[in-house]
Structure 1
Amino acid sequence: MIIRTTMPLVAEFGAKVTTAQVARAAGIAEGTIFRVFADKDDLIHACVAEALQPDSVHADIAAIDLDQPLADRLVEAAEALSAYVQRIGTISGALHATGFRAGRSGDADCRPRPQGGRAQVMAETSAVLADLFAPEAAGGTLRRPAAELAAAFFGMLTVVQRGDLPAFGDGPPSAAAIVDLFLYGAISREEKS
């Protein structure tokens, strides 16, 4: 509860957030924070670690209605993943802007990481995405296995999130534009027939 309350405050104030602000927002005594966390830095590290956990985005993707068209399912998934990455970026950016360093003095490798590491998170995310292809896999309409398509789609989204994909027109590509490119490629639909 303390971490959930602190995360929006860290996003707004960065490392300048005070434990008094956290206590007020959580409706608890300030001393309660120090029964759970060694100090404010420990609380901030816990917030960053929580932001990195993909559980909520996996649940959002798993909740996508499989009865809607594949393109709509993938747009919802892309938007959920984008919100997850944006949340991490907002917190990281606010902390960086206020001079917070991930490592503590004498412990340069204490930077928060998602449980299981990046490779495990990517594999789990690809598996959740693969479930979105289940109706087409069951119907035999996929050109490649669902797991391969999910990994390719996730890879494409990752490139877009990092900003490595050139802008589409006036800015970054929308989720719908990414899904359209993923599903239909470079050839116009009329020319495919």
Structure 2
Amino acid sequence: MSPELRRQMIVRSTLALIAEHGLALTTRQIALAAGISEATMFQVFADKDELLHACMVEAARPDEVLRELAGIPLDGSVTARLLEAAGALEAYLTRMGTVMAYLEASGHARAWRESAASTAGLREVHEAVESVVASLAALLAPEEDSLRLPPGQIAQAYFDLLFARSRVLGRPLSDSQLPGLVQLLVHGALMTTDAPRG
């Protein structure tokens, strides 16, 4: 097996285990899941921090979600488009949120952000998120002339709302909550358009 394939196998095994075991995850479990020894694992990754860094970069890869967002038809209502987008984003945000929550709860987040290797990885994560937000903004393009804010700002706010929820382990945003969230985004908090008093 090539070093790159072995690296991918270890990262994917780790992502699955983080979702299943959270803070209880050990390098021994990772090695067992990947079908290798711990010594082999540490020939690929210098330490657990480097492995978790690679997991964050992999979790942020947007290829699949970008395909799904691009497939949402623009002829439906903006509400329908945003609801469909939330469905497309669910797995992506859950994966990213789970890894981020693990990094923070296990104390690895600071080490990850401050490591020399994280500079390129953070750039990759930011670029991935920016591409997803740009795809969300494209879903708002038909209404651009009637929006209070540029589509990119609205798309970023929507992404942030969904992502913040995905980082609460064990409490995903339920299907019954999404329509209300989208209505809030599309129509605002007030039920009427009357000007505020006093």
TM range (shorter): 0.5 to 0.7
Identity %: 35
CA-CA distance at 1:61 after TM superposition: 1.9
Closer, same or farther in 2 for the Cα pair 1:22/1:33, shift >3 Å?
same
Closer, same or farther in 2 for the Cα pair 1:158/1:95, shift >3 Å?
closer
| Richer in helix (by share) | 2
Secondary structure of the residue aligned to 1:103 is helix
CA-CA distance at 1:75 after TM superposition: 0.7
In 2, Cα distance between the equivalents of 1:96 and 1:116? 19
Question: TM-score of the superposition, structure 1-length normalised?
Answer: 0.64
CA-CA distance at 1:4 after TM superposition: 1.3
Kept after mapping to 2: 8 A contact 1:103/1:111? no
Question: TM-score of the superposition, structure 2-length normalised?
Answer: 0.63
- Aligned pair 1:58/2:58, yes or no? no
Unmatched segments (≥5 aa) in structure 2:
1-8, 166-172, 194-198
**How many pairs does the alignment contain?**
173
Cα deviation code 1:111-138 (max 9, x no counterpart): 84543564x455423321133245xx3x
Closer, same or farther in 2 for the Cα pair 1:37/1:122, shift >3 Å?
closer
Kept after mapping to 2: 8 A contact 1:19/1:40? yes
- Aligned pair 1:2/2:10, yes or no? yes
CA-CA distance at 1:14 after TM superposition: 4.1
Kept after mapping to 2: 8 A contact 1:9/1:17? yes
CA-CA distance at 1:65 after TM superposition: 4.1
Closer, same or farther in 2 for the Cα pair 1:116/1:20, shift >3 Å?
closer
Closer, same or farther in 2 for the Cα pair 1:117/1:39, shift >3 Å?
closer
CA-CA distance at 1:101 after TM superposition: 4.9
Secondary structure of the residue aligned to 2:96 is helix
Pairing of 1:135-154 with structure 2 (within 5 A): 137=142, 143-144=145-146, 148-154=150-156
Pairing of 1:18-167 with structure 2 (within 5 A): 18-66=26-74, 68-81=76-89, 83-103=91-111, 108-110=114-116, 112=118, 113-116=121-124, 118=126, 120-121=127-128, 123-133=130-140, 137=142, 143-144=145-146, 148-159=150-161, 161-162=163-164
Unmatched segments (≥5 aa) in structure 1:
164-170
Q: Which moved more, 1:123-132 or 1:59-68?
A: 59-68
In 1, Cα distance between the equivalents of 2:116 and 2:13? 23
In 2, Cα distance between the equivalents of 1:160 and 1:18? 29
Cα deviation code 1:44-79 (max 9, x no counterpart): 221123223444433332233445443222112134
Closer, same or farther in 2 for the Cα pair 1:82/1:39, shift >3 Å?
same
CA-CA distance at 1:177 after TM superposition: 1.4
Cα deviation code 1:143-172 (max 9, x no counterpart): 347x92343143244256547xxxxxxx99
In 2, Cα distance between the equivalents of 1:143 and 1:188? 21
AA aligned opposite 1:182:
L
What is the aligned partner in structure 2 of residue 180 from structure 1?
A: 183
What is the aligned partner in structure 2 of residue 166 from structure 1?
A: none
Q: Which moved more, 1:7-16 or 1:71-80?
A: 7-16
What is the aligned partner in structure 1 of residue 170 from structure 2?
A: none
Secondary structure of the residue aligned to 2:101 is helix
